[in-house]
Amino acid sequence: MAGEGDSEPNKSFKLLGFLDVQSVPCARESVLYGSVGSLVVGLGHFLATSRVRRSCDFAVGGFICTMLGYWFYCRYNLAQHRIRQRMLKEGMRNKLIFEGSSLDPERKQTSNERSDS
């Protein structure tokens, strides 16, 4: 059956021997965008100048710049997402704790409750 061969664990791909592309957030996308960036920069420079060695140098530079640029962009967005998620979780927990109590901000206080405070 087709499902029998799927019992092998997923083998991770390590870039430069230490960067596990599968488990590190944003690593896979950064490498993919970097490779596309290097292709565009290298090919563009080659078409403009017809110098092979110099175009390869530009391609490597394009890879590094594109990969690092997207890495920082993706990690920044991931950090913002986690902060918003943490704030939402805290707000939901506070909503459950304070719901129906005198500390509930959505509950309208009556005149008796105001005089007791």
Residue pair 23/15 in contact (Cβ under 8 Å)? The answer is no
Phi, psi torsion values for 19, nearest 5 degrees: -95, 105
If one counts every other C-beta atom within 10 angstroms of the C-beta of residue 66, the result is: 22
Q: E strand or H helix at 61, and its extent?
A: helix 52-98
Q: What is the pTM of this model?
A: 0.66
Average pLDDT in the chain: 82
DSSP conformation class of 9: P
**Would you put residue 6 in left (φ > 0), alpha (ψ -120 to 50) or beta?**
alpha
The more confident residue out of 49 and 5 is 49
Query: What is the C-alpha to C-alpha distance for residues 77 and 21, in angstroms, rounded to an integer?
Result: 18
pLDDT digits (tens, 9 = 90+) for 68-117: 999 999 999 999 999 999 999 998 888 877 777 777 767 766 655 555 55
